[in-house]
Chain A
Amino acid sequence: MKIEDRLFLNRYRADEEHPHLKIKDMDVCKNCKDKPCINCCPAGVYQWDGEFMEVKFEGCLECGTCRIVCPYNNIEWEYPNGNYGILYKFG
């Protein structure tokens, strides 16, 4: 199953105005060799287009993996605001 289809199964309440994940310095990503955030994220949130790291924070499952794997501590990571973000009906 593709990751988009998987995320499509879930309910989210996205806080469009307040992204809860931010790249601190894009130049650091440019020089980050393995870019572990891309492979380790279970929701495919991070995508590198050669110049720029796109962060599709709306699909985030709030696990915390990207925070732990980023070797340069280059992600400003927090949980979405109360009542926003992933909303599991089974869990």
Chain B
Amino acid sequence: MIEFDVVVIGAGPAGLAAAYKLAKNNIKVAVIEKGEYPGSKNVMGGVLYVDPLRKLISEDIADELIKAKAVERNVIEQNMWFISDDGLVKGGHRNEKWKEKPNAFTVLRAKFDSWFANKAKEAGALILPKTKVEDFIWENNVICGVKTSRPEGDIKCKAVIIAEGVNPLLTMKAGLRKEDLSPKMAAIAVKEIIPMPKEVINNIFGVKESDGATLEIIGSWSQGMMGIAFLYANKNSISLGAGVLIEDLMKNNKITPYEILDNLKNHPIIADLLGDYRKTANEYMAHLIPEGGYYSIPKLYGNNVLVAGDAGMLVNSIHREGSNHAITSGMFAAETLIEAFEKNDFSESFLKRYVTKLENSFVMKDLKKYRNLTSIMEKNHQFFEVYPSLINDSAYRFLTVDGTPKYDIQKEIFDMLRTRRGLLGIAGDALKFWKGVR
């Protein structure tokens, strides 16, 4: 039987960050990945924040990423759109400073994960693709290796990092999670890659060559379901996707995820934006996003085992931060094991310091801060339905000049708010929202 110091399950950002860090510290690590190559099973909207990679790899990583063509565009502008059936209110921010020091790049996972895996390989990790981890090998109730789909594919090790992503099958098998995900703990997102000439993309987002922008869309397309859509600029394509809470999709029980995406594309304003390009695509994909936040986090450590990334539900869905949490948690998991090798102690009580590391970082602090926001949003669908249409109709009324004095217009808007949501309702929503983000 082969032996490694550490086996990492899954070559996503969490697993690869852990492997990179371990290998750099001369620990013999194998990453097991079921896909043909790292990234071949993976999907994300596509905003990769650079900071965690600066901390993990080097300060110059942004230049390296660009040179290696591992990223698409440097995000210099981020937008949020609120749409009603026929209107649009925009908000956004662009900053020149992001041109000098990139904050985030858009990425395509097949490319980015492959690059990241090569980086881990160069550091000394073994990447074992085309291989599925089926189960653990136990000895005296303690995990001491993994069983893989390969013939005679058992691998022994001192510790395992579970970085299997959002479906926590092995996390459950390890006994760290008692129950599977429930429909309110995850969103189902679908996404298409739509090829477009560079000039068209630059026009849509108002950017120049190599500069990128993001666009998030809330509103009528989701038919009141809790959901967010996105449109991100890649080099020669855009990533267009939409995700809704599974619980809402079940309740709706009429529309499929891809019909929701078509809804969005056929919205007159989005249809104008995309033109005929919306009728073509290069690839169609689907993936879950952990939405449960703080309260859905499983036990992240046990004897000889740690959980990182989406498997630990470490996603801040409000800020679409997942890959950066995955990289950071993978790095902390590796640091914890490096300390464990120094002390030769892989017990649960020693590995607990992994959670302390997470708690002292932005990862757990942010998840704690927003711990109630998801459930507030979930119970208050007006945030996805009534408000986007109210702000659009208010803006329309305010900006339409038809001889009505402004005083009367304001009164009309006020009456509209009162009848459609109620003043107490609005005050209550504001309070709830404030409580959620405070």
Contacts and interface: CB of A to CB of B under 8 A. Distances in A.
Say if A and B assemble together.
yes
B41 A68 contact: no
Interface of A: 1, 3, 6-7, 9-10, 13, 34, 36, 39-44, 61-65, 67-69, 78-83, 85-91
B256 A40 contact: yes
Interface of B: 34-36, 39-44, 108-111, 113, 129-132, 148-150, 166-167, 169, 180-183, 186, 188, 190, 192-193, 237, 246, 249-250, 252-258, 262, 279, 281-288
Contact of B288 (A1, A63, A79, A82): A63
Contacts, number: 140
B34 A79 contact: yes
Given A7-B284, A39-B256, A68-B186, A82 B132 contact: yes
B71 to A, nearest CB: 13
A87 B41 CA distance: 6
B36 A87 contact: yes
Contact of A85 (B39, B41, B169): B41
25 contacts: A6-B258, A10-B283, A10-B284, A39-B254, A40-B249, A41-B256, A44-B256, A64-B288, A65-B186, A68-B246, A69-B183, A79-B132, A79-B169, A81-B132, A82-B132, A82-B149, A82-B150, A85-B41, A89-B110, A90-B111, A90-B237, A90-B282, A90-B283, A91-B108, A91-B285
A42 B149 contact: no
Nearest to B148: A82
Contacts of B110: 88-91
With most chain B CB atoms within 10 A of its CB, the pick from A6, A63, A87, A88 is: A88
Nearest to B287: A63
